[in-house]
C-alpha cells in the first residue's frame, strides 16, 4: 500500500509522489514510515532520507535536518539541504 510523500526545502519542492515507505533520521533514532502510520511530528537530524517508490526503487536524499509530519492522508517533510 502506498501513500503520498511531499518533501520541501525552504525555497523549492524536492519530491512529491506516491511511495511505499520513507526512512528518516529522527533525533530519537531512525524511523521508517509506512502507509497508515500513526500521526506524529518529529524533528530530523543530519542524515539520509531513504524513499522507496511504488516501483521498488530507493532514492537517497542527504539532509542537514528538518521536520517530519505524518498526517492521516500524507507525509510532509520540511528539510534543510
Give the predicted TM-score (pTM) of the model.
0.96
What residue ranges do the domains of the chain occupy?
3-80
Residue 3: pLDDT band by 50, 70, 90 thresholds? very high
CA–CA gap between residue 11 and residue 56 (Å, rounded): 29
CA–CA gap between residue 63 and residue 25 (Å, rounded): 9
Identify the architecture of domain 3-80 in CATH: Sandwich (2.60)
- Residues 27-49 have pLDDT tens digits of 999 999 999 999 999 999 999 99
Share of the chain above pLDDT 70, in %: 100
Amino acid at each position: 500500500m502506498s501513500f503520498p510523500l511531499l518533501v520541501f526545502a525552504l525555497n523549492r519542492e524536492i519530491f512529491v509522489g506516491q511511495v511505499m515507505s520513507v526512512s528518516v533520521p529522527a533525533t530519537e533514532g531512525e524511523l521508517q514510515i509506512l502507509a497508515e502510520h500513526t500521526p506524529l511530528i518529529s524533528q530530523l537530524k543530519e542524515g539520509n532520507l531513504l524513499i522507496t517508490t511504488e516501483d521498488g526503487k530507493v532514492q537517497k536524499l542527504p539532509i542537514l535536518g528538518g521536520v517530519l509530519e505524518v498526517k492521516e492522508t500524507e507525509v510532509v517533510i520540511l528539510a534543510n539541504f
